[in-house]
Amino acid sequence: MNTNEIISQIKSIKGIKEVKLLDSEQREFIQELEIQEEKETGIINQGVKEVMQRKIVLVATHDETFREPKEELFKDNVIFSTSFHELDEIMREKNNNINSTDNINFIISSPSKESHEYLKALIKVEGEGLNEDATLLIGV
């Protein structure tokens, strides 16, 4: 499945609004923002580090109807990634392996505030203030 097909599948998930592929320069700039945030706050965004190691990195926006994480993502000043199980399931179904336990493992993570502000310039984000859509980084 190519990147455009993956983007199309992600957009079909409840709560996801926009999806965009990040290029290498954008990825590098986000990594720099995350390093700066870590130096300033002491909070390590391990999730973004893991996403950035993937072959393909996408940014998506989502509203409040997107599901809550199944596990705790912040512990001891570390932000973790989590499985993007909705996309894993779609991909298994597309490959006719509905009951498969194949290790399809897309991951997602929340960017820091500074990275979120940068991403807003790259992708349409609806709402303002507390009603603003959130950004999400997806590693493929």
User: Residues 82-102: what's their mean pLDDT?
Assistant: 66
Q: What DSSP designation does 67 have?
A: P
Higher-scoring residue by pLDDT: 68, 63: 63
Q: What is the pTM of this model?
A: 0.85
**Sign of the alpha-carbon dihedral angle for 24, 40, 124, 55:** positive
User: Residues 113-134: what's their mean pLDDT?
Assistant: 89
Q: How many residues does the chain have?
A: 140
